[in-house]
Amino acid sequence: MAYTTIDDPSVYFQTTLYTGSGSSTQNVVNGGNSDLQPDLVWVKHRGATRWHRLVDSSRGASKNLYSNEDDAEGTEASVTAFNSDGFSLGTDTGSDGWNEDGDAHVAWQWKANGGTATATGAESGNNPAYSAQANQTAGFSIITYTGTGAEGDVTHGLGGKPDWIITKVRNGNGDEPWVTWHKDLSSADADNGAYIYLNTNGQGQTTSVFYEGDAISSSVVAFKGGNANVNADGTNYVMYCFRSIQGYSKFGSYTGNQSTDGPFLYFGFKPAFLMVKKISSAENWFLIDNKRHPINDGQIPRVIPNNSDAESEDASIAGDFLSNGFKIRATQNMINESGTYIYMAFAESPFVSSKGVPTTAR
């Protein structure tokens, strides 16, 4: 049996570095082995305190959300088009802009279905009206839906149970957090779904009003009721769903040991992107990638998804990107204190190709 169906992860995920021009005609072009037309673009200014911004092809160009804030969706001249090999930028040159002249930015990008829905549904009983664009090969879907205010389900389109779910209000009052579910968040009562917030440093918790943990399935995400953060009547939401794909993506957990000989996280691929959160106590999220610092020298520049700080290169966040995973070599509390951590990882290259050949032997 083939180890992976994705020999070239850059078809579905890429990190791209670019410098703002202040021009309304700037195109950010992806590299990698393949062109990538992104459906989700997450951008962070690297050198200054600036908000994170996320835009996707389901909500539409210039429709921004902010991982470090609970604000509702904003309309700004950020990404103006999703192109066959990247994206276009508008003259968004303000203090939080995507395109300030001469300023360094990083863009993380994922492919779904080119902005075209793979499934839609009208409101049915307590189940929300929805539109989903899913890429089952890459294990990623974007769902927009309108809440019903009651216990119900929304179709995610992955073809298997998701491992990570992120939900955000689009048109709320500006105080609705990014409600996040992960398969390894502990819950004493599976009926009361575990959750964590992407926009805060809080620990994992359980509640009876967000996700219905034991009813999340290979076809639907289940809501426990009509809470304003996930399913208020008439409120618009976006949901990002991810599922582990062998050799391409991995969503899991580990236990910190407070040693510079830290845990080895086996992914089955050389990672290009890693996002981690301690869930057993309050601690910041952190995000690293292989483009902003492509060598293993003990210091990895990280950004913090739940705040607007500039990129920071710090020996306290140390580890090695290896051919089959990530080796932690630090004791810093964001990565390797005693306690439990969850992670999301995407590949630069699989450890073994679809032909069963180690990629390092090519």
Domains of the chain: 9-110 (no CATH), 119-242 (2.60.120), 249-361 (no CATH)
Residue closest to 110 by CA, chosen among 161, 160, 164, 147: 164
Confirm if 105 and 43 have CB atoms less than 8 A apart.
yes
Q: What is the pTM of this model?
A: 0.95
Mean pLDDT check: name the lowest of 156-160, 187-191, 199-203, 325-329: 187-191
pLDDT at 362: 39
- pLDDT given for residue 137 in this prediction: 98
Query: In whole angstroms, what is the distance from residue 235 CA to residue 314 CA?
Result: 41
The mean per-residue pLDDT over the stretch 25-47 comes to 91
Q: What average pLDDT does this structure show over 195-215? A: 89
CB 271 within 8 A of CB 287: no
Cα angle 51, 56, 57; round to 5: 155
Helix (H) or strand (E) holding 222: strand 220-223
* Long-range contacts at 182-188 (CB < 8 A, ≥ 24 apart): 182/251, 182/253, 182/279, 182/342, 183/251, 184/251, 184/252, 184/253, 184/340, 184/342, 185/279, 185/342, 186/279, 186/340, 187/213
- Looking at residue 361, its pLDDT comes to 41
pLDDT at residue 94, as a whole number = 61
pLDDT for residue 351: 79
Backbone angles phi, psi at 260, to 5 degrees: -70, -15
The per-residue pLDDT for range 93-111, each reduced to its tens digit, is 565 678 888 999 999 999 9
Rounded to an integer, the average pLDDT of 17-40 is 89
- Region 234-242: mean pLDDT is 98
Tokens of 138: 């890459």
10 SS3 class: helix
Residue 64 has pLDDT above 80, yes or no: yes
224, 151 contact by CB (below 8 A):
yes
Reported as a single tens digit per residue, the pLDDT across 262-276 is 999 999 999 999 999
